[in-house]
């Protein structure tokens, strides 16, 4: 039988992500395949870097939590096709999470308005929801 967690425990695990990462986290959108895990060096080209709001995720409820507020930048760093993201502490170097990037309906972990990014263009994260496993 698989281990099952209560909704309370699942919510606590999700809320711990924002606590551990800290306020004003930095989200970088990158080209190419993501590294094997967060301990590995960055891969691909950084297309955009967004400093997230001080409170960047909603409180966990029913085992999930979503982005809070507007996540956008009008100063893309480079041109290319977005493929993955990395979430860093406010120092911009300590990676705490990574995942895939797609447009709406693409099945990625994080959703952009457009994965074709142009230098100095606008990049908007339209959706990001974390769901804890072991329900």
**DSSP letters of 47-65?**
EEEEEPPSS-BPPPBTTEE
Query: In this structure, is residue 115 part of a structural domain?
Result: yes
Query: In this structure, is residue 77 part of a structural domain?
Result: yes
Q: Which domain holds residue 107?
A: 7-129
Q: What is the mean pLDDT of residues 108-122?
A: 97
Query: In this structure, is residue 18 part of a structural domain?
Result: yes
Domain count, the chain: 1
Query: In this structure, is residue 135 part of a structural domain?
Result: no
Query: In this structure, is residue 14 part of a structural domain?
Result: yes
Distances (CA, A) of 114 to 32, 51, 110, 124: 16, 19, 12, 8
The pTM of this model reads: 0.92
pLDDT tens for 6-54 read 999 999 999 999 999 999 999 999 999 999 999 999 999 999 999 999 9
Query: In this structure, is residue 33 part of a structural domain?
Result: yes
Query: In this structure, is residue 134 part of a structural domain?
Result: no
Query: Of the candidates 46, 67, 71, 70, which has an alpha carbon nearest to the alpha carbon of residue 58?
Result: 67
Query: In this structure, is residue 1 part of a structural domain?
Result: no
């Amino acid at each position: 039988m698989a281990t099952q967690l209560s909704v309370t425990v699942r919510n606590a695990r999700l809320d711990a992500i924002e606590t551990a990462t800290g306020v004003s986290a930095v989200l970088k959108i990158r080209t190419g395949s993501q590294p094997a895990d967060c301990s590995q060096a960055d891969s691909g080209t950084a297309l955009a870097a967004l400093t997230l709001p001080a409170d960047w995720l909603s409180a966990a409820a029913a085992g999930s939590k979503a982005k809070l507020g507007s996540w956008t930048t009008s100063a893309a760093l480079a041109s290319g096709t977005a493929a993955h993201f990395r979430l860093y502490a406010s120092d911009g170097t300590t990676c705490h999470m990574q995942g895939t990037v797609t447009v709406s309906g693409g099945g990625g972990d994080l959703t952009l308005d457009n994965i074709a990014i142009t230098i100095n263009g606008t990049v908007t994260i339209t959706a990001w929801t974390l769901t804890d496993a072991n329900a």
